[in-house]
Amino acid sequence: MAKASDLFVQALEAEGADHVFGIPGEETLALLESLRGSGIRLVLTRHEQAAGFMAATFGRLTGRAGVCLATLGPGATNLVTAAAYAQLGAMPMLMVTGQKPLHDSRQGHFQIIDVVGMMQPLTKYTRQLVSAGAIPAQVREAVRRAQEERPGATHLELPQDIADRDTDASVLPTVYTRRPVAEAKALDAAADAIRQARHPLLMVGAGANRKTTSNMLRSFVERLGIPFFSTQMGKGVLDEGGALWLGTAALSDGDFVHRAIDAADCIVNFGHDVIEKAPFQMRHGRRTVIHVNYFPAVVDRVYFPQLEVVGDIANSVWELGQRLEPQPHWDFAFFDRVRTALCDNIGTLGCDGRFPLSAPRLVAELERALDPRDITCLDNGLYKLWFARHARCRLPNALLLDNALATMGAGLPSAIAAALVHPGRKVVAVCGDGGFMMNSQELETAVRLGVDLVVLVLRDDAYGMIKWKQAHDGFPAFGMDYGNPDFVRYAESYGARGHRAGSIDEFSAQLRAALDTPGIDLIEVPIDYDRDDALLNDEIPALAAAVD
């Protein structure tokens, strides 16, 4: 006989869980006690939302469901944004929440809400455990569903009296199931379309940023020499430092990459997921668009591919590679001119000498200071667009950004999770002053865990991204500006080191020193978005339009 909460933890361990992120409550005390005696590390956070962001990022980086824990009611509601983050972002995550006893509760409705019902639209699977004997199968199912393509969030509710029961059930063995592969006729049709095109172009999306797709795609691209671009969440699957990179679709239109897209007569989308902001707007009859993904295309007014190759992406890439040879009629001359112009533009903007710093210069400074293996985790703000457009990612998941829920507040928690998963790699969190303050309390978690982290807080004393949109849309300035704490002293009050950059050179020196020093360093970086509207809406589209 085993205690149900012990069995629950054993079931998690059998699934390979080694961390649980969360905050306890009365109703989860038995589970907490079972965790104490296990090999799983409990990472206590200061807000459940941050625990959820950490678990989701853990899943994103490892492919194994990250586990987070909260109590009933307010603990569970605090997980909601993280559930949406994991679900939209296709990050495997299992949320575990407590509940009052199912039987003989004497507290009326105190703290009780329908958590399973609340999680319904935000998860792939949500269940209340009503018997101890169901625990092994339910944990297996929740983890399997979280990890299976398309990955996402799952939820189990463990009521207090069920957790306290004894059971003779035992953990189910884990089984490995192969993913289905694409059908030969679909592969033949796709290969024919690519072969016959004059200007084929590849797009790498979020779905290709998982599993073993990166290696397969690399050899496919190297052998065939077809240029590629990526979506924001597809960055790094293919080496963006190479000669075939045509940029990232950070905007939906008007950028250099869109000139290449317009000139292409066949676009192969590896792993495109419509949860990302549209990388380009499909129009009727312009070109063949091929959807290669684990699941069929979710048709949208801006995305309606004519051919679909549905099955394991890595296998589809390999199969397409088997069917194709470089073709003499393939003509990439215009794409080459687009690349040259784009690289010039990125280079020029990266040298901007203004201080407060421009975002393109910030990206350039970080790129100079970091090793390609290092990890940059972004919160959400205007700078994200520039990182997406300018950063040359050399490896998958070296730039963690969220172009799915695009929530503020995930930058610092995701960086803490990245530092736990990859202790040997340097991790930098880049946050706006707005997004940072949404989960800045997790500085304490980071200090307590002893992780090595650099946190850049980009200070414009405003919700800069929305301020830009407001001005662009012709609204009068209103409701965007705020004050900030003294970030240097704020960091110090947590036991971290705080720095304030007063010039580009000073920032550059502070960044390098922080990267070389163990522990937490926060650098306040004044940022200037004043030119961004002109750059993004006039200058870049004009330069892009001029490429011929």
Ligand X SMILES: Cc1ncc(C[n+]2csc(CCOP(=O)(O)OP(=O)(O)O)c2C)c(N)n1
Q: Which residues bind to ligand X, rule: CB under 6 A?
A: 379-383, 406-409, 432-435, 458, 460, 462-466
Select the residue interacting with Mg ion from 159, 360, 464, 541 (CB under 5 A). 464
Residue 196: CB partners within 8 Å, gap ≥ 6? 266
User: Per rule CB under 5 A, is residue 379 in the interface with Mg ion?
Assistant: no
Only one residue has tokens 């393109």, namely 360
User: Per rule CB under 5 A, is residue 524 in the interface with Mg ion?
Assistant: no
In the complex, minimum distance from the CB of residue 439 to ligand X, in angstroms, rounded to a whole number: 10
In the complex, minimum distance from the CB of residue 528 to Mg ion, in angstroms, rounded to a whole number: 11
Residue 469: CB partners within 8 Å, gap ≥ 6? none
- How many Å apart are CA 113 and CA 72, to the nearest integer? 8
In the complex, minimum distance from the CB of residue 381 to Mg ion, in angstroms, rounded to a whole number: 6
> Which option in ligand X, Mg ion, none does residue 383 bind, with CB closer than 5 to 8 A by kind?
ligand X
In the complex, minimum distance from the CB of residue 34 to Mg ion, in angstroms, rounded to a whole number: 43
Q: How many CB atoms lie within 10 A of CB 195?
A: 15
Stretches 8-16, 161-169, 462-470, 516-524: which one binds Mg ion (CB under 5 A)?
Answer: 462-470
> Which option in Mg ion, ligand X, none does residue 408 bind, with CB closer than 5 to 8 A by kind?
ligand X
Residue 349: CB partners within 8 Å, gap ≥ 6? 358, 360, 361, 390, 535
- How many Å apart are CA 545 and CA 218, to the nearest integer? 30
- CA angle, 165 as apex, 1 and 21 as ends, to 5°? 100
Nearer to ligand X, 234 or 526 (CB): 526
Beta pairing class for 166-167 and 2-3: antiparallel
Select the residue interacting with Mg ion from 6, 460, 521, 532 (CB under 5 A). 460
User: Per rule CB under 5 A, is residue 411 in the interface with Mg ion?
Assistant: no
User: Per rule CB under 5 A, is residue 532 in the interface with Mg ion?
Assistant: no
> Which option in ligand X, Mg ion, none does residue 355 bind, with CB closer than 5 to 8 A by kind?
none
Select the residue interacting with Mg ion from 89, 136, 200, 432 (CB under 5 A). 432
Nearer to Mg ion, 356 or 434 (CB): 434
User: Per rule CB under 5 A, is residue 356 in the interface with Mg ion?
Assistant: no
Q: For residues 410 and 53, is the Cβ–Cβ distance under 8 A?
A: yes
Nearer to ligand X, 186 or 415 (CB): 415
# residues near Mg ion by CB under 5 A: 5
**Contact string (CB under 5 A) for Mg ion, positions 231-260, x = contact:** ------------------------------
Residue 276: CB partners within 8 Å, gap ≥ 6? 205, 206, 231, 232, 233, 403, 404
Give Cα separations from 408 to 141, 310, 404, 432 (angstroms).
31, 33, 12, 9
Nearer to ligand X, 277 or 512 (CB): 277
Select the residue interacting with Mg ion from 89, 434, 526, 541 (CB under 5 A). 434
Residue nearest to ligand X (CB): 432
Stretches 76-84, 196-204, 409-417, 424-432: which one binds Mg ion (CB under 5 A)?
Answer: 424-432
User: Per rule CB under 5 A, is residue 59 in the interface with Mg ion?
Assistant: no
Query: At how many degrees (to 10) do helices 382-390 and 464-472 cross?
Result: 90
Q: For residues 424 and 457, is the Cβ–Cβ distance under 8 A?
A: no
Q: For residues 158 and 130, is the Cβ–Cβ distance under 8 A?
A: no
Residues counted in the chain: 548
Nearer to ligand X, 245 or 463 (CB): 463
Nearer to Mg ion, 356 or 432 (CB): 432
User: Per rule CB under 5 A, is residue 271 in the interface with Mg ion?
Assistant: no
Q: How many CB atoms lie within 10 A of CB 178?
A: 7
- How many Å apart are CA 134 and CA 120, to the nearest integer? 20
User: Per rule CB under 5 A, is residue 498 in the interface with Mg ion?
Assistant: no
In the complex, minimum distance from the CB of residue 284 to ligand X, in angstroms, rounded to a whole number: 32
Give me the DSSP letters along 51-94. HHHHHHHHHHHHSSPEEEEE-SHHHHHTTHHHHHHHHHHT--EE
In the complex, minimum distance from the CB of residue 457 to ligand X, in angstroms, rounded to a whole number: 9
Residue 442: CB partners within 8 Å, gap ≥ 6? 45, 46, 47, 50, 412, 413, 416
Stretches 108-116, 218-226, 457-465, 468-476: which one binds Mg ion (CB under 5 A)?
Answer: 457-465
Only one residue has tokens 């990302």, namely 276
> Which option in ligand X, Mg ion, none does residue 380 bind, with CB closer than 5 to 8 A by kind?
ligand X
Q: How many CB atoms lie within 10 A of CB 526?
A: 18
In the complex, minimum distance from the CB of residue 425 to ligand X, in angstroms, rounded to a whole number: 25
> Which option in ligand X, Mg ion, none does residue 22 bind, with CB closer than 5 to 8 A by kind?
none
Binding residues for Mg ion, per CB under 5 A?
432-434, 460, 464
